[in-house]
Amino acid sequence: MSIPVINTFLQTGSQPGLTKLNQKVFIYQGGADTTVPKAATDILIASMKANGTSASNIEYQEDAAWDHGTVYTQNYENFVGDIDSLFE
């Protein structure tokens, strides 16, 4: 693509973890997830911290039994609670 602003967005601006976040980030990771392996999530979290996101703003939940589907189906209530907590 030859449009600089689009190139910047695609190469860096749309990539998670490159901008300091001042709000809570909720991450659920399954140890059995082959779509988004734990190693990729670990890199994301390290990148977030390296770019200024406070560790206290990263809420990380992990379960070795979750895969890419069960991480959702087994955590609906937790997701709602996480979202509700942002409005307190």
The tens digit of pLDDT for each residue in 3-51 reads 788 777 777 767 788 889 999 999 999 999 999 999 999 999 999 999 9
Q: The whole model's pTM is what?
A: 0.82
Q: Give CA separation, 88 vs 7, 20, 61, 75, 82, in Å.
A: 38, 22, 21, 20, 10
What secondary structure does DSSP assign to 16-59, as a single string? Answer: TTSS---S-EEEEEETT-SSS-HHHHHHHHHHHHHTT--GGGEE
pLDDT digits (tens, 9 = 90+) for 67-82: 999 999 999 999 999 9
For the beta carbon of residue 47, count every other beta carbon within 10 angstroms. 14
Are the CB atoms for 61 and 33 separated by under 8 Å? no
